[in-house]
A and B are shown apart, each in its own frame.
Chain A
Amino acid sequence: MTTDIILILIAIIVAPLAGGLISGIDRKLTARFQSRQGPPITQGFFDVAKLFGKEKMAANPWIIFCAWVYLVAAALSVVLFFLQSDLLLIFFVQAIGAVFMVIGAMSVPSPFSQVGAQRELIQILTYEPLLILVFVSIYLVTGSFSIDQIMLVEQPLLFKLPLMFIVLGYALTIKLRKSPFDFSTSHHGHQELVKGVLTEYSGPFLALVEVAHWYETILVLGLCALFWTTSIPAMIALVVLTYLAEILIDNTMARMTWRWMLKYVWSVGLALSFVNLIWLYAKV
C-alpha cells in the first residue's frame, strides 16, 4: 500500500518534472544542431510558470474544460503506468486526453484550430493500431498485458521484438508530434497552420496542455523502457538512445503530408508487425 502511494506520488509529481527537463534537453540539443546557444534546460518550467501567470482568456468555456480533462487523463495514464497496470487500459486512458484535446480544438471556429484538430485525428488514427499491436506482441512474449507480469521476463523484450521496437518508434514519433509527423502542431509562425490543434489553447490553459505533454513524454519513454527490463543501466541506455534518435530525426526530417504519413506508416508499420508477429506465433 505504502509503495503504491509512493509510486502514485512519483507519477504525479516527479514525472512532469522529469518530462519538463527532458523537453529542456531536447530544446538545448536541437539548438546545438542548429548552431544556436539554446535556452537553459529549465526553460520549460519558466515558460509554464509565465503562462500560468497570464490573464485567463479563451475562445469559449469548452476549451478550458478540455484542457483540464487532457491533463487529468495524461496524469492518470502515467499513474496507472507506475502502478504497473494493464497496458491496453493505460493506452485507452491516454486516449481520453487525446480525444478531448481534439474536441477542445474543434469547439472554436478558427480555421487553424479546426484543421489542426482534423490532422491530429489522423495522427491518432496512424499511431493507435501500431501501439495496440506493440502491446499484443508484448503479450505474446510475456503472456500478459499487465506491466507487473511483463517486468518478470528473463530476457529483454528487445531481443524477441526488435521490429516491434521500430514500430513503437514510429508510433512515438507521431504521438510526440515530432518531424516528419508534426503537422497537427506545426510550430513555425510563417507556415500555414501557426500552431494547429494548439492554436486556441492560450495562457494558463496552454500551460495545462504543456504539462500534460510532459506526462505523455514520460509515458512514452516508459513504454520504451519496457523493452529492456532486466537491467536498469541497459534500460536507461535504451531510453536515452531512443530519445536521442527521436531528436535527431526531428531535426533532420522535413515535415511531410498526412497522406504520406498514413500510407507510409501504416504500410511499413504493419509489414514490420506482421513479420515480427508471425515469428512469435510460429513459436507459440
Chain B
Amino acid sequence: MSNLLVVLVLLPFVAGLACYLLRASFIRSLVVLGTGGILAVASIALMMSGPFTYSPEPVLGMSWDSLITIADFALLLVILFYGFKHNNLLIKLFSVAQMAGLVILELFWVDHTAHVPTFYADQLSLIMVLIISIIGSLICIYAIPYMKEHEEHLHLETTKQPRFFLFLVLFLGAMNGLVLSNNILWLYFFFEITTFCSFILIGHDGTEIAIKNSVRALWMNSAGGVAFVAGMMFIYASTATLDIQALLTSGNTATVGLLVGLAFVAFAGFTKAAQLPFQSWLLGAMVAPTPVSALLHSSTMVKAGVYVVLRFAPAFAGSFVATGVALCGAFTFLACAALAISQSNGKKILAYSTISNLGLIIACAGINTPAAHTAAILLIIFHAVSKALLFLCVGSIEQRIGSRDIEDMRGLYARMPRTAWITITGILTMILPPFGVLLGKWMAIEAASGQMLTVVMLAMGSALTVVYWARWAGSLLDMPGGEKPAPEEQATLMRLPLMTLCLGSVVLSLASPAIYEYMIRPMFVAAPFTVAGGVLSGPMGAFAIYPLFLLLGLGLLYALRVVKKSRGMTYAAPYASGANVEGSNDGSFVGPMNAPVKIQAGNYYLPAFFGEERLTSLANIAAIALIVLMIGGAL
C-alpha cells in the first residue's frame, strides 16, 4: 500500500524534477514514458487492492503534517511573489488572506494531538486515480513529440521543455494526492499545488496573452483557495475535526456553521471547475500548448473541482445547499452549451463543452441521490476520455493545417483521414448512445426529474449540446465524392495516445455495466441500479447497453459494407440548380459572366441568440445570484 502511494503521489514529483535537471531530450522522453507506464500500472494495482486508510510514518523526526504545513506557507509565499511580480492586487490579497486563515487554523484552533488518517481511498478516489494516472500519462506522452514540433514552430533559442515537463508530470502527483487525501489540510495543500501548476503551464509560452491569462487563472483559483480556507475554518469550528470521513459520517448537517463551511468548499470547487462566473480562466487557458489544455480539461485541474464537490456532497444532502449546488451546476450546463453554439474556434468549443459537462456533474452532486452520484462518476470517467481525445485531435489538426477554426476543418477527411475519423468518433461518444457520456446524461436527467428547474435546464442544455457537436462532425466530412484522401503521417508517440484514447472511449463504454458493477456499486449501501445481461435498470427506467451495442454495431457494420461495395459507383455532382461546372464534383457552379463559382458553406452560429457578448454578462450575473443563493441558503 505505502509503496503504491509513494509511486502515485511522490514519483511524479521526483520524475518532474528529473525532467527539469537532466536536460537531454532523450532522457526526458524516457523519464516521461517510464513514469507514465509506472503510474498506469500502479493505479490499476491500487484499484485491485481496494479501499484503504493509511497514515505515513514521520520522517527525520518530523511529522508529515507539519511538513505539509510548512510547504503550504512556502507555496503561498511563492504565489504572493508572483502576485508582486505581475503586480496583481487580487493575487496578493488572496494569498495573504489564505495565510492569515491558515495561521489561525494551525496555530490557534487545530488540536495537533488528534490522530487524523492522512489518506483514505474509497471507490471514488480509486476511480479518480485511474483517470489521472492513465489518461494524464497518455497526454504527457503525447506532449513529447508535440512539444518538439511546438518549439520548432516558435524557433526557440533555448528549449523551455524541462520546466514544462516538470510541472506537467508533477501535476499528476498533486492530483493523485488530492483525491487520496483524507486530512482536509492535505487536500487543501494539493488543491493549491494544482492552482500553481496550472498558472505556470498556462503562461508557459511567455507571450503577453499567455501571461495575462495565466495571471487571471491564478487570481480566480486563489479566490477559490480563500473560499477553501474559509470553508475549512467553518467546518473545523463546528465539527472540531480535520478528518473528512469522520465529517461525512457524523450526520451532523443541522449545524449552520458546517453547512456554511460546505457551501464555501463547494464554491472553491466551482472556481477550480471553471463554473460560471469563473469560466474565463479556463477559456483563457487555451493559449497554452495543447497538451496543457488536454490535461487541464480532462483528467486534472477541473476534475479536482468536481471531485471536491462530489466528495463533500453527502455531508450537505437534504439541505438547501444541495439544491443550490444542483441549480448552479445545471445553469452552467445550460449557459455554456448555449455559448458553445456561437463559437467557431475549435478549442473554445471544447472549453465551453468541458465547463458545461462539469456543470452537469456538479448538478448531479447537488441532486445527491445514489443514482445521481453514479451518473456523476460515469460522466467524470467518460468525459475525461473523450475530451482528452478531442483536445489531442484538435492539437494534431492545428499543427497540420495551422488553424483551430472548425470552418477551416471542413473536409478535413481529404487531408487527414485518420485524425478526422478519430475526431468524429470522439464527438459521437460525447452525444450519442450507447456511449458512456450519454449513459451518464440519461441517469442525470432521470435523477433530476424530482427538481423542476434543474431538469428543465438539463433538457435544454442537452439539446444545445447536440447542435454544436453534430455540425462539427458533419463538416469534417464535407468533400466531393470520388476523391482519395491522402494517407496521413504522424509521429508514433502522437498516434499511440490518439488510438488508445479512441479505442478507450468505445471499449470503456461497452464495459460500462462492469464499471458500474465492480467499481461504483460498492460505494452505496443500497444499489441505485441492477445489472442483468448488460442492461442497467433502476426504479425509474432502464438503459440497455449490450443489446444497443450489438444492434447498432451490426447496423454500423452493415452500413460500412454497403459503402465499401459502392466504391465503384459513379459519384454524382452535388445539386447546384443544374448550373454545375462541367466535370467538377465539388459543387462549383456557373455564375455571373459565365465564371465558375466555388461554393462556400458555413455553420449557423446564431450570434443573435447565443453570442458571447450577448449572453456572457447576463449569464455571469445569474450565476453569481445562484451562488449567493447557495451560500445564503446555508444560513
Which A residues lie at the B interface, using CB under 8 A?
A: 56-62, 64-65, 68-69, 72-73, 76, 80, 85-89, 92-93, 95-96, 99, 102-115, 117-119, 121-122, 124-126, 128-129, 132-133, 136, 139-140, 143-146, 194, 199-200, 202, 259, 262, 270, 273-274, 277-278, 281, 284
Contact = CB atoms under 8 A, between A and B. Distances in A.
Given A59-B480, A106-B475, A114-B478, 11 more contacts: A61-B567, A64-B559, A68-B562, A72-B558, A86-B542, A99-B431, A111-B599, A122-B606, A124-B470, A274-B452, A277-B452
A109 B479 contact: yes
A125 B541 contact: no
B461 to A, nearest CB: 8
B527 interface: no
B604 interface: yes
B371 to A, nearest CB: 12
Interface string B291-328: 00000000000000000000000000000000000000
Given A61-B481, A102-B471, A145 B463 contact: no
Given A60-B480, A121-B604, A199-B575, A145 B541 contact: yes
Contacts of B474: 102-107, 117
Which of B540, B548, B575, B586 has the most chain A CB atoms inside 10 A of its CB?
A: B575
B481 A60 contact: yes
B464 A69 contact: no
B52 interface: no
Contacts of B113: none
B576 A144 contact: no
Interface in B554-588: 555-556, 558-560, 562-563, 566-567, 569-577, 585-587
B interface, how many residues as a size bin? 35 or more
Contact of B481 (A58, A73, A111): A58
20 contacts: A56-B566, A57-B569, A58-B569, A72-B555, A85-B544, A95-B431, A95-B433, A96-B432, A99-B466, A102-B470, A107-B477, A108-B478, A109-B478, A111-B601, A115-B601, A121-B470, A129-B462, A132-B462, A136-B459, A145-B446
Going nearest first, the 8 A-B pairs with the smallest beta carbon separation are A106-B474, A72-B555, A110-B574, A128-B463, A145-B541, A60-B481, A68-B559, A86-B541
B73 interface: no
A59 B601 contact: no
B477 A103 contact: yes
Nearest to B568: A56
Contacts of B475: 106
B571 A96 contact: no
Contacts of A284: 450
A107 B413 CA distance: 10
A69 B571 contact: no
Interface of B: 411, 428, 431-433, 438, 442, 445-446, 449-450, 452, 455-456, 458-460, 462-464, 466-467, 470-471, 473-475, 477-482, 539-544, 548, 551-552, 555-556, 558-560, 562-563, 566-567, 569-577, 585-587, 599, 601, 603-604, 606, 608-609
A132 B432 contact: no
B569 A139 contact: no
B551 A59 contact: no
Given A57-B572, A58-B481, A68-B559, A88 B445 contact: yes
Contacts of B570: 57
Contacts of B460: 129
A140 B451 CA distance: 11
Nearest to B570: A57
Given A69-B556, A99-B431, A117-B471, A109 B574 contact: yes
B601 A121 contact: no
B555 A200 contact: no
Contact of A262 (B470, B555, B587, B609): B609
Contacts of B575: 110, 112-113, 194, 199-200
Contacts of B445: 88, 132, 136
B559 A89 contact: no
Q: Is the interface of A mostly helix, strand, loop or mixed?
A: helix
A96 B478 contact: no
Contacts of B449: 136, 139-140
A241 B446 CA distance: 31
Contacts of B562: 64-65, 68
Contacts of A274: 452, 456
A93 B577 CA distance: 35
A281 B572 CA distance: 55
Contacts of A73: 552, 555
A119 B470 CA distance: 12
A92 B433 contact: yes
B572 A59 contact: yes
Given A85-B544, A118-B471, A144-B540, A128 B609 contact: no
Contact of B467 (A110, A113, A124): A124
A282 to B, nearest CB: 10
A251 B535 CA distance: 44
Contacts of B428: 99
A93 B592 CA distance: 45
Contact of B541 (A102, A144, A262): A144
A61 B566 CA distance: 7
A277 B431 CA distance: 27
Nearest to B433: A92
Contacts of B478: 106-109, 114
B563 A96 contact: no
A107 B479 contact: yes
Given A86-B542, A107-B474, A109-B601, A59 B431 contact: no
Contact of A95 (B466, B555, B556, B572): B466
A273 B456 contact: yes
Contacts of A117: 471, 474
A182 B467 CA distance: 18
Given A108-B478, A262-B609, A118 B604 contact: yes
Nearest to A114: B601
Contacts of B576: 110-111
B36 to A, nearest CB: 35
Which of B474, B539, B556, B562 has the most chain A CB atoms inside 10 A of its CB?
A: B474
A113 B574 contact: yes
A145 B466 contact: no
Nearest to A56: B569
Contact of A59 (B462, B481, B541, B567): B481
Nearest to A93: B433
A56 B567 CA distance: 11
Given A86-B542, A96-B552, A109-B574, A60 B466 contact: no
Contact of A64 (B411, B543, B563, B608): B563
A64 B566 CA distance: 9
Nearest to B432: A96
Contacts of B586: 109
A57 B566 CA distance: 9
A10 to B, nearest CB: 17
Contacts of A58: 481, 566, 569, 571-572
Contact of A57 (B552, B555, B571, B608): B571
Given A99-B432, A99-B466, A103-B473, A133 B574 contact: no
A275 B452 CA distance: 11
A116 B450 CA distance: 37
Nearest to B443: A88
A202 B574 CA distance: 11
B574 A87 contact: no
Contacts of B559: 64-65, 68-69, 72
Contacts of B569: 56-58
Nearest to A57: B572
Nearest to B458: A132
